[in-house]
A and B are shown apart, each in its own frame.
Chain A
């Protein structure tokens, strides 16, 4: 089952903050975040492992609440370059013991001047 991302789309002015949420109905091992610009490949942002850690670099950070099976991506003081579609990928082991990453449908972020 795909994780659910919210909101589906958001428009920001430069300098504003945004939060993108990702929730899953399955027990999670890890959460990945990727950004994809139009017509390009997804680019890795960060991975969070279970344990409730928070990570970040520059003005983009994320948290992972293992008990709630949720992760949130925080973008502060947004820049034009932040525009794109953000995907969360939730990692879990299948019944057969193999590890798979399942991506959400994405959140389209548009930053305007």
Chain B
């Protein structure tokens, strides 16, 4: 049982390059999330998708776009990478928080460095 799978695990980009981070879950969850984690800042929500076909901005959406390709897959795109986007990116999934009691399951993260 793979859970939440993120690719790639590591990536180095030059300023201005673009790339897409991939995330797939096999738990049949409706909701998916993208977070970034910077030292001393905790996890900050970039975008989320409450269900297939919907996406919403989180706390720090600037510079990012997302696509909910189907129920399993949720991708995060950096159109023009900036050094400030150097971070560890985590994808997570859960059942919809209908009663607020649904845990989030995290992938292993993508470590992204932008030079």
Contacts and interface: CB of A to CB of B under 8 A. Distances in A.
B103 A44 contact: yes
**Interface residues of chain B: helix, strand, loop or mixed (majority):** loop
Given A41-B90, A49-B101, A103 B108 contact: no
Nearest to B45: A100
A42 B101 contact: no
A42 to B, nearest CB: 5
B100 A42 contact: no
Contacts, number: 57
B15 to A, nearest CB: 26
B24 to A, nearest CB: 15
Nearest to A106: B42
A91 B56 CA distance: 16
A2 B42 contact: yes
A42 B58 contact: no
Interface residues of B, number: 26
Nearest to A31: B100
Contacts of B59: 102
Nearest to A96: B56
A47 interface: yes
Contacts of A40: 108
B41 interface: yes
Q: Closest 5 interchain pairs by CB?
A: A30-B100, A44-B103, A41-B106, A105-B42, A103-B43
Interface of B: 33, 35, 40-45, 48, 50, 56, 58-59, 90, 97, 99-109
6 contacts: A30-B100, A42-B43, A49-B99, A49-B100, A87-B43, A100-B48
Given A32-B103, A89-B104, 10 more contacts: A32-B104, A41-B107, A42-B90, A96-B56, A98-B56, A99-B97, A103-B42, A104-B42, A105-B40, A105-B41
Interface of A: 2, 29-30, 32, 40-44, 47, 49, 87, 89, 91, 96, 98-106
